[in-house]
Amino acid sequence: MLTYFLLFAAFVLVAIRFFKLLRLKRRNLSNAEIDQHLHVLLNEKRDRP
């Protein structure tokens, strides 16, 4: 019984991974977006004089 349960858990792991990666593929991030994000991250607070 435990075997089946663990196998199921492993399958769930793989499935989650698959759907996560699929979602990322749909999102299709580009380097420009990354750059933009970095820009936003670093410039959110003006903390330098």
Partner 1 sequence: MRKRIGVQFRKTRKTAHTFERIQGCKRCHTYHVLWDTHCKNCGRAYTPIRQLSTTVARRHVQTRFLLLGLFVCLAILAADTVLQLALAFGIGALLFTLFFVIQKRLGSYEKDAQFIRFLTSERETIKQSLVHHLEDIGADVKAERIKDAYEKTREIGHFIESDTIKIRKIMFLNHYVLRKDMELELDTLIPKTYDKDFMEYLREVIKVQPWLVKKAVLDYVKRYKAQILLLENGEQLIGQVAGAALRMKTYIEQYQDLIIEFIDYLPRERLLRLAKMVSTNRHEGWDRLYEAVKQRVDTHYAFDPDFKGVL
Where do contacts with partner 1 occur on this chain (CB under 8 A)? 2-4, 6-7, 9-11, 13-14, 17-18, 20-22, 24-25, 27-32, 34-35, 37-39, 41-43, 46-49
Question: How far, CA to CA in Å, does 2 sit from each of 6, 14, 32, 42?
Answer: 6, 18, 48, 49
How many Å apart are CA 11 and CA 5, to the nearest integer? 10
* Minimum distance from residue 5 beta carbon to partner 1 (Å): 8
* Minimum distance from residue 18 beta carbon to partner 1 (Å): 5
* Minimum distance from residue 14 beta carbon to partner 1 (Å): 5
How many Å apart are CA 47 and CA 40, to the nearest integer? 14
